[in-house]
Structure 1
Amino acid sequence: MEEISLFLIFLSVLAGYLLGIVSGLLPGVHTNNFALALVAFSPFLAEKGVAPFYIALIILSNAVSHTFHDIIPSVFLGAPDGDTALAVLPGHRLLLEGAGAEAIRLSALGSAGSVFTSMLFLLPFSLFFGAFYPYIQDSMVWILLTIVFITIASEKNGEVEGKKGLGLLAKYKYKAMALLLFLITGILGLFAFSREDLLTPIINFGEASMLLPLLSGLFGASQLIISLFTGSEIPEKSISKFELSRKRILRGVFTGSAAGSLVAWLPGVSSSIAALLVGLFVRSDFDRRPIKKEDSEPVPGERKSSLFSDSRADHQTLESSKEFIVSISGVNTSNAIFGLVALLIIGKTRSGAMVAINDILGIESLGFQIIMLFFAAILLSALFSYFSTVWIGNNAHHMLRKIDYTKLCTGVLIGLAVMVYLFTGLFGLFIFIISTPIGMLPSFMNIRKSHAMGVILLPVISYFLQYSF
């Protein structure tokens, strides 16, 4: 390989970092879009003297930067991507409590912390998956079914009243509704993904993804409509300083990093499923429905919450929402880092970015020096991304609070519909329209919205069942 230029390394990391801001802030634009575009342009760039190594650095830095900035539209606009879908409800809740800027700062801290925490898992996970990966791959169906079982079983029990038989039904009614929601969204996912070839984007910016209309409807538009119905508004004051205990922050970083590092090795398992696992460690119903503010009466001496039915539980629920934001950010960043590790150890690509890097360089070219430079690029991109994420979060709240919340929600809803139509066509818009009322079901069932991740889990389980048999 030709002599490496530190200046070109810096420029490559900077370029990838800036692309990550773009892909993170613009719903519907993903790192895979830029990765595929760079692969297509790599021969032309090579003719201009840009070595493939620097192109790979841009792609890697873009992937890391994206995981920092993609939380911002989820919190402020209710516009999720595949990795931040579960963050919409707790993030939106914090926004309406005046803690939107704090949520973004916590997210940036979770991502930055996961960069360093992931290094602790690097050696043990590499040794473990290097030795046992074939056995784990053959057991994926049972692993995923176990995740589904634990998630549904962890749903709260109902109140037991009346006769013994009816009491038993009441006790398990929420678990039954959780299973029903999982199946409804799972069937929706099976239907949608089996017809992904019907997507006809108006703007062809890379390969159209069915995740955009599905997740925008289930987790984005549905929450915005509920917020409109509940008469919510963005408070004038914004909290930006940390009001989360050090214990919860550290736990959020550790659980998110561990979950993201684990699923990066598994085929067909995205970081959104890792986020589902993380939610089991946050011991509060941070993703339950908000209700009308007039439905709750404050405890004397406490401020009235605009979102929760039991004001005595407000503090605990807000704390859990904040911890989950830390965790899910850690999941996404560690997942991006371990995507590279999985490529090195088992030779498998788990993301579009890693596919692109493998196509450009090939794993046989990844010597010790290049690997060390890759990790240095990850650290530098993370450093840039932390400060820009915090800065954008602080300023976004100040701008949004000047806008009428009803008009903001209405505008975002229209924007989501237009975005879905532009990037996925009429069939994508049809899926978006179907997904939106289904995404509102957890609010009326009073169950956790995370069960709607059946839209991804059931198709993945179905795929592995076909693979196994």
Structure 2
Amino acid sequence: MPSDITIPMLLLSVLIGYTLGIFSGLVPGIHTNNFALMLVALSPMLMDSGILPTYIATAILANSLSHTFHDIIPAVYLGAPNDDMALAVLPGHRLLLEGFGSEAIRLSALGSAGSVAFSLIIAVPLAFAFSKVYPTLQNYLGLLLLLISISLILSEKGEYIINQGSFVKYKYKAYALILFVLTGFLGLFAFRMEASMHPLIDFGAPSILLPLLSGLFGASQLLISLLSGSHIPPQRYSRIELPAKRIIRGIITGSAAGSIVAWLPGISSSIAAVLARLFIKSDFERKKDIKNRKKEDEDACEGYYRYDDDEFYRDETMESSKEFIVSVSGVNTANAIFGLFALAVIGKTRSGAMVAMDELLETASLTAQDIILFLLVIATTALLSYISTIAIGNNIHRMLAKLDYSMICITVLLGLALMSLLFTGFFGLLIFVIAIPLGMSASFMKIRKSHAMGVILLPVILYFL
């Protein structure tokens, strides 16, 4: 530890950043970058008061990590995602409606905590490897993302019904391609017209991703819940019912994908989550076993047996949803960790938090002692965040149970629309409204909503090709 750093002040910085991370994680529309920019703006005044830049950087790092733990809670219970947790909305919301909302929170906390442990183990060798291959990867980034997108579309199997025909799988792949392209065009339009945003409230740099992802993944799911008459059933506290091998795989795939975000330009956590999705066991992977077991039922139902009516199939898809939550949470947390190493090794910033730290510290002169200090900050923040995330997740449903779920959906929908208007102006509100039916179409076409990530993937691919 540097000689001018004291433990009490360091712990106070961690607690401040950790608390800010809880706030930004729980309140939809507030991003960790907002607090990072705020702390940088206040840094001259703080340093004049004797506060060392290291303490400010520590608060920013703790804030970014704490945020990745707590942002699952509004995604699951309110269906209000931020940029990083957009893909977690659907499986998280499904678990909530099945009565396992608190388990979804615990799975996310476990994924984030496991990602911290795994990332700290592989960070140094991975930093060395990426420093060697970084120029090559940068040159082929567009092609890499194109291959990822093609793999995502080809992996779509849609809703499987017996005797529907051998070519039906291509119908769902076509649906996936259509959704990918349509959302991609929306993304191209939104990013090219981003200068048209005139926020009513200036709260940091406005991002067109707020209305895009809120409409595609948050508001669309809430509207479907309203139209289908969904309600929050009684939530039950149970142990995590997911095989250890799937938890470990979710942590590893999430951490690996999250590391890519930190090293490669143009890759967001949402894109890394799409990459991780390719390694999650397919919902239909055991289709043959189900088909053999249900052969008699097929004859009895005249060849019109739906797998999603089968209890074994339902359990399989539920496990995939749980593993995906573990993986997505691992992506976001690993990104916060590996961003520090990317800053130290290649001097590149991939997040608002790292940009802020780069402005505060002389990153080119960071020593091994400095890195160890920040790793201890990460470990401490992760421990505190794991405890508080589970505590909040286990109890928030009691407060929500006293409220009408339809009114919650309507309130959050109006809140998302209002945030889009306030933070991105009328243009952002227009993008939000256009994105909603596109997000809803995935459910009607019986395909994964992750194909809607074409809204980011297609513009990035075209940029790098």
- TM-score normalised by L of structure 1: 0.91
Whether contact under 8 Å (1:271, 1:335) holds in the other structure is yes
Secondary structure of 2:184 counterpart: helix
Structure 1 residues 34-82: Cα deviation after superposition (integer angstroms, max 9, x where no partner): 1111111111110011011111001111110010011111101111111
Give the aligned residue type for 1:279.
R
Question: What are the residue-to-residue correspondences of 1:53-452 with 2, within 5 Å?
Answer: 53-156=54-157, 170-285=168-283, 309-452=309-452
Partner Cα distance (2:78, 2:242) in 1? 23
Structure 1 residues 175-194: Cα deviation after superposition (integer angstroms, max 9, x where no partner): 11111100000000000011
Question: How far 1:120 moved relative to its partner?
Answer: 2.4
Tell me what 2:52 maps to. Answer: 51
Q: Mean Cα displacement is larger for which, 358-367 or 153-162?
A: 153-162
Give the aligned residue type for 1:371.
I
Question: How far 1:237 moved relative to its partner?
Answer: 3.4
Query: Structure 1: which 4+ aligned runs deviate by more than 6 Å?
Result: 157-162
Partner Cα distance (1:159, 1:394) in 2? 37
Whether contact under 8 Å (2:257, 2:275) holds in the other structure is yes
Give the aligned residue type for 1:398.
R
Question: How far 1:161 moved relative to its partner?
Answer: 7.2
Whether contact under 8 Å (1:264, 1:271) holds in the other structure is no
Partner Cα distance (2:177, 2:31) in 1? 31
Secondary structure of 1:172 counterpart: helix
Give the aligned residue type for 2:176.
A
Partner Cα distance (1:383, 1:191) in 2? 42
Q: Mean Cα displacement is larger for which, 54-63 or 362-371?
A: 362-371
Question: How far 1:275 moved relative to its partner?
Answer: 0.8
Partner Cα distance (1:357, 1:38) in 2? 10
Partner Cα distance (1:22, 1:76) in 2? 16
Question: How far 1:171 moved relative to its partner?
Answer: 3.9
Whether contact under 8 Å (2:148, 2:275) holds in the other structure is yes
Whether contact under 8 Å (2:76, 2:92) holds in the other structure is yes
Secondary structure of 2:263 counterpart: coil
Whether contact under 8 Å (2:69, 2:333) holds in the other structure is yes
Secondary structure of 2:252 counterpart: helix
Give the aligned residue type for 2:215.
G
Whether contact under 8 Å (1:265, 1:350) holds in the other structure is yes
Whether contact under 8 Å (1:86, 1:272) holds in the other structure is yes
Question: How far 1:308 moved relative to its partner?
Answer: 5.3
Partner Cα distance (1:81, 1:284) in 2? 25
Structure 1 residues 398-453: Cα deviation after superposition (integer angstroms, max 9, x where no partner): 11122222122111111111121121111111110000011001111111110000
Give the aligned residue type for 1:223.
Q
Question: How far 1:281 moved relative to its partner?
Answer: 2.1
Question: How far 1:109 moved relative to its partner?
Answer: 0.8
Gaps of 5+ in 2: 285-296, 298-306
Tell me what 1:4 maps to. Answer: 5
Judged with a 3 Å threshold, the aligned counterparts in structure 2 of structure 1 residues 114 and 446 are, in CA distance, closer, same or farther, namely same
Give the aligned residue type for 2:411.
G
Whether contact under 8 Å (1:160, 1:171) holds in the other structure is no
Partner Cα distance (2:341, 2:309) in 1? 45
Tell me what 1:293 maps to. Answer: none
Give the aligned residue type for 1:389.
T
Partner Cα distance (2:122, 2:257) in 1? 11
Whether contact under 8 Å (2:260, 2:267) holds in the other structure is no
Question: How far 1:364 moved relative to its partner?
Answer: 2.3
Structure 1 residues 370-399: Cα deviation after superposition (integer angstroms, max 9, x where no partner): 111100000011011001100110111111
Cα RMSD (Å): 1.9
Whether contact under 8 Å (1:121, 1:261) holds in the other structure is no
Question: How far 1:325 moved relative to its partner?
Answer: 0.8
Question: How far 1:311 moved relative to its partner?
Answer: 3.9
Judged with a 3 Å threshold, the aligned counterparts in structure 2 of structure 1 residues 263 and 352 are, in CA distance, closer, same or farther, namely same
Whether contact under 8 Å (2:101, 2:235) holds in the other structure is no
Partner Cα distance (2:195, 2:3) in 1? 43
Whether contact under 8 Å (1:161, 1:170) holds in the other structure is no
Partner Cα distance (1:194, 1:22) in 2? 32
Whether contact under 8 Å (1:105, 1:240) holds in the other structure is no
Give the aligned residue type for 2:194.
E
Tell me what 1:20 maps to. Answer: 21
Give the aligned residue type for 2:128.
L
Whether contact under 8 Å (1:20, 1:64) holds in the other structure is yes
Partner Cα distance (2:438, 2:89) in 1? 16
Structure 1 residues 85-120: Cα deviation after superposition (integer angstroms, max 9, x where no partner): 000000000000110011101111110110010122
Partner Cα distance (2:238, 2:206) in 1? 36
Tell me what 1:291 maps to. Answer: none
Partner Cα distance (1:352, 1:101) in 2? 30
Give the aligned residue type for 2:232.
I
Partner Cα distance (1:161, 1:8) in 2? 67
Question: How far 1:365 moved relative to its partner?
Answer: 3.3
- State the percentage of identical aligned residues: 62
Partner Cα distance (2:401, 2:141) in 1? 46
- TM-score normalised by L of structure 2: 0.91
Partner Cα distance (1:464, 1:41) in 2? 36
Q: Mean Cα displacement is larger for which, 392-401 or 185-194?
A: 392-401
